[in-house]
Amino acid sequence: MIDMAVEFSPALMTTPVMSSIVTGLLTAGLLVWALIGYDYVRAETAPKLWQK
């Protein structure tokens, strides 16, 4: 899958673009896990975020 993406667009292999993509994905992933963790911790006393 990654090989196909790299094969079709070699511009992705430039360092600044790749590092910004990786940084963006990591930030988004950490945000999702933070929201899940926050919801899990407060689920004992409050309704879940997706049930409002």
pLDDT tens profile 19-36: 888 888 999 999 999 988
CA angle 19, 30, 37 (to 5 degrees): 175
pTM score:
0.49
Straight-line distance from the first to the last Cα atom of the chain, in angstroms, rounded to the nearest whole number: 37
The residue extents of the domains of the chain are 2-51
pLDDT band at 50 (very low <50, low <70, confident <90, very high): low
